[in-house]
């Protein structure tokens, strides 16, 4: 019948639609798959002259010529083995000149091979058998334990393996790969390229997912065309991605941009003037494989800015990260005797910030970075505190070593000359340091309630969300040796004489040795007049202790904790007595702004120091 024919047609029609729909769906699916699977098109823009978005001339001959000129001036073997390198004649002069503007010998870097060979800097020393090993060797489980230790790498096992191994002999076989993120603003091209080459040459290719270069809107010409050309020709066989930021974002947000496009399991951040050395990546990746909440720092060796020598600091000892109450990163000795001379990861209270490895997902889970931090500084302590307080760990990995060029000053300037380090540190102090932020704000009173510091809601929410522990917990558990100016001390605050003169550091720089001075008391407690008498009898600023020298001068020098000339007895009447000198701290005859001495003890107003706070003993 007619109606049944219509129905059949309808069904057929429908079938066609269904088929069509299926095909369409399949196409769509494949498209999505394609977009998902095929990695983003390399964001390297081929250099050249563009008109209305179209490449008119690729300039390749121009760049090729430039590059060949440059390459022809490279001196073979210069700086090999990391030895100090020197130029002669005109180049030597120009090189010295360049130090003044770039804090780096740029001429030398340009003459040095980009793939120079470094000596393997890793520790060669065999470590003494540990107590643990001796214990285990008497155990009947010895064989089983050693067997599991060969296959897995637990802390326990490391100690066992260490007895017969050096860094070089450790067998690491990580399954995780890494995206190495290198950020730069107006760095020297040859220095950036040497960083990249060292990563390519020293990382097994199956572990290196990609290298991501983030250009923080450099203005330097050679970092535009020439760098792109170099990457798309000399480095075409390597997976290098170049991300250009449209405007200057500062190093914190630049790193975030790099992390956002990264695909590797582990992110490793590097400054753009580093050199990775043999076997640097494996121990980092292995450790993260074992514990994804471990954030790792290699030993950071010094590459001299003057002669690009790679120095290894006697090759066995190393330091870990601390901080000062003024909000700066510092190097500190490893406190735990059993951690010294180890080849396995060592707890580090903080990190310097520029070179570290972190599981990519953990990076995001733990709060990446404070996006509102501008420019330079502060992010390193922020991340350090956050990692510890929110359930991660920070460690230095002695078997991984990377060189970094330490420059005497920043060769770049910041927009508006803002004190980004101060502002960023104020942000982290408010969010992470609880009451202990009081010390930082004594250094920076102007920043305490300053709107310039910006909104902190998100970061405080993050701390809540992650249920992070207190700063007190951090100090107690991670950094118990940190000196807290007003805790467990005999006395603290301003120390004044009857003439309203106070102990004063005379604006001594935090890391310099200088006299313990006398100065008119300020009407408020400023850091330059904040002194403590520690429980152990040191008269100290933060890390600097008053020490008696031969002629009776009193200097502020680094605290050594061994008493002797840094040991003082504070009597109830305010006398400050040095048993080593057998004399007393005296302001007698000392002018305003001059250094103090110890003199024969006598009952004199010049020898009595009244501290703001004295704890009963």
CB of 273 to Mn ion, least distance (A): 6
As a whole number of angstroms, the distance between CA 345 and CA 284 comes to 9
Binding mask 300-329 for ligand LR7 (x = CB under 6 A): x----------------------------x
In the set 286, 380, 400, 586, which binds ligand LR7 (CB under 6 A)? Answer: 380
Contact 113, 78 (CB under 8 A): yes
H helices of 277-412, where? 281-290, 360-365, 379-389
Query: What does 361-374 look like in DSSP terms, one character per residue?
Result: HHHHHTT---TT--
Contacts of 180 (CB under 8 A, 6+ apart): 199, 203, 208, 210, 211, 212, 268, 269, 270
Applying CB under 6 A, the span of 144-152, 309-317, 376-384, 435-443 interacting with ligand LR7 comes to 376-384
Rounded-to-10 torsion of CA 281, 286, 287, 292 = 110
Q: Tell the smallest beta-carbon distance from residue 105 to Mn ion (Å).
A: 16
Rounded distance, CA 435 to CA 602, Å? 41
Q: Which of 349, 375, 403, 422 binds ligand LR7 (CB under 6 A)?
A: 375
Residues present in the chain in total: 617
| 404 belongs to the binding site for ligand LR7 (CB under 6 A) | yes
Among positions 160, 352, 539, 548, the unique one binding ligand LR7 when judged by CB under 6 A? 352
| 205 CB-contact burial (10 Å; exposed 0-12 / middle 13-18 / buried 19+) | exposed
Residue whose CB is less far from ligand LR7, 242 or 502: 242
Which of residues 19, 410, 458, 564 is near ligand LR7 by CB under 6 A?
410
Q: Which does 352 bind (CB under 5 to 8 A by kind): Mn ion, ligand LR7, none?
A: ligand LR7
Give min distance, CB of 613 to ligand LR7, in A: 34
Nearer to ligand LR7, 305 or 570 (CB): 305
Closest approach, Cβ 423 to ligand LR7, in A, equals 12
SS3 221: helix
CB-CB contact of 616 with 572 (8 Å): no
Residue 460: name the closest of 478, 434, 437 by CA: 434
Q: Rg of the chain's alpha carbons, rounded to an integer?
A: 30
**Is residue 298 close enough to count as binding ligand LR7 by CB under 6 A?**
no
Query: Residue 518 CA to chain centroid, in angstroms?
Result: 37
Report if residue 398 touches ligand LR7, rule: CB under 6 A. Answer: no
48 or 454, CB closer to ligand LR7? Answer: 454
Rounded to an integer, what distance in angstroms lies between the CA atom of residue 146 and that of residue 152? 10
Contact between 354 and ligand LR7 per CB under 6 A: yes
User: Going residue by residue from 43 to 82, which x/- string records binding to Mn ion, judged by CB under 5 A?
Assistant: ----------------------------------------
> Residue count at the site for ligand LR7 (CB under 6 A)?
25
* CA distance linking residue 515 with residue 595, whole number of Å: 5
Question: Interface residues for Mn ion in 257-316 (CB under 5 A)?
Answer: 271
List interacting residues with ligand LR7 (CB under 6 A): 183-185, 187, 216, 248, 250-251, 254, 271-272, 300, 329, 352-355, 375-377, 379-380, 404, 410, 412
List interacting residues with Mn ion (CB under 5 A): 271
């Amino acid at each position: 019948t007619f109606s049944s024919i219509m129905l059949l047609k309808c069904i057929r029609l429908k079938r066609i639609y269904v088929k069509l729909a299926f095909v369409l769906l399949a196409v769509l699916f494949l498209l999505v798959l394609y977009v998902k699977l095929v990695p983003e098109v390399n964001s390297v823009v081929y250099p050249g002259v563009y008109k209305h978005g179209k490449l008119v001339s690729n300039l390749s001959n121009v760049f090729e010529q430039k590059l060949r000129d440059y390459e022809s001036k490279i001196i073979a073997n210069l700086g090999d083995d990391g030895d100090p390198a020197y130029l002669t004649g005109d180049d030597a002069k120009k090189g010295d000149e360049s130090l003044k503007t770039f804090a780096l010998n740029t001429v030398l870097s340009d003459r040095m091979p980009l793939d120079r060979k470094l000596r393997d800097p890793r520790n060669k020393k065999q470590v003494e058998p540990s107590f643990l090993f001796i214990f285990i060797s008497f155990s009947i489980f010895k064989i089983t334990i050693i067997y599991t230790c060969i296959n897995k790498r637990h802390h326990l096992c490391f100690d066992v393996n260490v007895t017969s191994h050096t860094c070089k002999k450790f067998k690491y076989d990580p399954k995780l790969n890494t995206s190495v993120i290198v950020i730069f603003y107006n760095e020297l091209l040859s220095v950036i390229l040497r960083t990249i080459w060292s990563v390519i040459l020293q990382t097994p290719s199956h572990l290196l997912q990609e290298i991501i270069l983030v250009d923080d809107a450099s203005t330097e010409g050679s970092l535009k065309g020439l760098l792109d050309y170099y990457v798309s020709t000399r480095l075409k066989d390597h997976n290098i991605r170049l991300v250009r930021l449209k405007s200057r974002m500062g190093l914190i947000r630049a790193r975030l941009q790099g992390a956002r496009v990264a695909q590797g399991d582990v992110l490793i951040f590097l400054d753009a003037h580093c050199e990775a050395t043999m076997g640097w990546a494996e121990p980092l990746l292995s450790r993260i494989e074992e514990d994804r909440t471990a954030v790792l720092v290699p030993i950071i060796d010094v590459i001299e800015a003057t002669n690009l020598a790679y120095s290894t600091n006697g090759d066995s000892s190393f330091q870990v990260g601390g901080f000062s109450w003024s909000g700066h990163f510092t190097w500190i000795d490893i406190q735990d005797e059993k951690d010294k001379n180890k080849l396995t990861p060592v707890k580090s209270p903080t990190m310097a910030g520029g070179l570290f490895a972190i599981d990519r997902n953990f990076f995001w889970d733990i709060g990446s970075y404070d996006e509102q931090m501008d420019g330079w500084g502060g992010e390193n302590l922020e991340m350090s505190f956050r990692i510890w307080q929110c359930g991660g760990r920070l460690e230095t990995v002695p078997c991984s070593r990377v060189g970094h060029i330490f420059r005497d000053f920043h060769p770049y300037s910041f927009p508006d000359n803002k004190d980004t380090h101060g502002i960023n540190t104020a942000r982290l102090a408010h969010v992470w340091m609880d009451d202990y932020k009081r010390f930082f704000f004594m250094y920076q009173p102007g920043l305490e309630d300053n709107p310039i510091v910006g909104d902190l809601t998100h970061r405080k929410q993050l701390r809540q969300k992650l249920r992070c522990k207190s700063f007190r917990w951090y100090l107690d558990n991670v950094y118990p040796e940190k000196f807290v100016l007003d805790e467990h001390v005999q006395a603290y605050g301003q120390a004044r004489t009857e003439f309203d003169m106070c102990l004063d550091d005379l604006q001594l720089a935090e890391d310099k040795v200088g006299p313990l001075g006398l100065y008119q008391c300020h009407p408020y407690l400023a850091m330059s007049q904040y002194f403590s008498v520690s429980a152990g009898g040191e008269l100290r600023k933060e890390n600097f202790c008053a020490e008696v020298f031969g002629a009776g001068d009193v200097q502020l020098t680094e605290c050594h904790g061994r008493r002797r000339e840094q040991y003082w007895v504070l009597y109830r009447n305010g006398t400050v007595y040095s048993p080593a000198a057998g004399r007393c701290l005296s302001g007698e005859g000392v002018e305003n702004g001059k250094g103090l001495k110890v003199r024969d003890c006598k009952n004199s107003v010049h020898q009595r120091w009244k501290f703001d706070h004295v704890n009963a003993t």
